[in-house]
Amino acid sequence: MVQQLKWRYLGIVVPMVLIGTIGWGSDILIFRQHLSMDLLIRHRIYVHVIWLTYILAVLVPPGSPPRQFNPDPELAKVCTFCRKCNRVKPPRAHHCRMCNTCVLRMDHHCPWTNNCVGHRNLLHFVRFLLSVVFGTSSVFWNLCGRVRVLWDARHQPVYDDDISLSEIIATIVLTPLSFFVIFTVGLLTIRTLWNLCENVTLIETWERERVESQIRRSRLEPVEFPYDLGGPYDNLVAILGPVWRWFLPWTEPQGDGMHFEVNQDASPSTIWPPADPDEIPPYQYVERQMSITDVSSRSSSTGSISAFPAPYFNERAGRATQLPYGSDAADSDTDSDADPNAYWRRDKWRSWEGERLEDFGVDVGAEMYSNHTQGSETFEEDEENVPLGIVKRKLVANGMRHSTEGVEVRSNSL
């Protein structure tokens, strides 16, 4: 389970202490006196590789969308809008509330590197996990050998020159500590590699579970996850690049982190995750942030009218047909006064592990396009009985005003 720390830099201190304690402590107190030279050199190489991969995972930025991001027509169909950065962001990107920026192909914000895992530093993060697992496993194996020697010599006097008290204490402390690191980091490594084989991020696994739950409850139509290309090798190459790049410590994944290949069962214009019934579809929200000229030129292709989609006007009718939450919402923590359907919202949903979207570092408020949370466009519950014609005129008027303001802001910035 991913959890963010209250003190961010504590997440860097803890791994550094563990690497130094297990790597250097075992070297100075135990291995230097008992391991052969080739095994000792191998151990020191493992320790330095762990340090190198960790430093790269901490310092290499995950990558952010360019400031002047103008997507082409095909890419624009799957782009969303960040309300915090106030700009269009490419697919699979999210706004990190810890780093306060949008991250390309954001996997999660790792508290142990105090950095997001995204497009640019994904390979560095994977190399760090693998180096920790292999390096610590080597330490644990050698420590188990010393445990066996100490157990066989348990009846010898404590003043034996070959066995010191400091070595006994170090062995007792470092053996279970190294096993704990192997177990915890190993689980994260298996989960990361499994996601890579499916071409899915940690955030997208959470979204897939949420979408599948809504499909089971008939709140959403069945939708295909677009980025799984089928085989593990195809997915790994699509994410990490050619195999020879995986083992070079300075390489990064290929591509720009904004264009992604989709499978044959998905449409190139498929937006993931799909919009909730109570939300504005993301591409329509993007249209609303664009100028009147841009909107009018694209309204025919998106099926919206003056950038205001049909879901704006039939949202109340849709509420009447939505099923109340049942067994899937047994553990819901929604308020009694809240909409029962809010359980599936991005800011409310919990996975089977109890994880929320914000646990991965995502700023949920930056990408929620709710019909009831758009500032001056908010409609109070007592307006549920207002005729649809009046509602439509209000929405169109607000949209024209915001579009005009967008044009003025752009002209002033020029």
Residues annotated as catalytic (active site), given as ranges: 110
Q: Which residues pair with 362 in a beta bridge?
A: 96
Through-space distance between the first and last CA atoms of the chain, rounded to whole angstroms: 46
Instruction: Please give the Cα distance from 308 to 384 (Å, whole number).
Output: 18
Q: b or e along 92-116 (b: 16 or more beta carbons within 10 Å of the residue's beta carbon)?
A: bbbbbbbbebbbbbbbbbbbbbbbb
Peptide bond into 273 cis (omega under 30): yes
Cβ pair 80, 89 in contact under 8 A:
yes
* Residue 142 CA, distance from chain mean position: 36
Residue 35, C-beta contacts closer than 8 angstroms, at least 6 positions apart: 43, 142
Run of H or E residues at 81 = strand 80-82
Amino acid letter for position 82: C
Tokens read off for 4:
């963010």
Alpha helix segments (H runs only) across 272-387: 282-288, 292-302, 311-321
Dihedral over alpha carbons 149, 152, 154, 160 (to 10 degrees): -60
What residues have CB less than 8 Å from 133, skipping those under 6 apart? 182, 185, 186, 189
Measured CA to CA, the distance from residue 295 to residue 35 in angstroms comes to 71
Cβ atoms 235, 268 nearer than 8 A: no
Alpha carbon distance 219, 211 (integer Å): 9
Residue with tokens 């830099």: 9
The rounded distance, in Å, linking the Cα atoms of 104 and 204 is 13
Indicate the Cα dihedral angle 66, 68, 72, 73, nearest 10°: 120
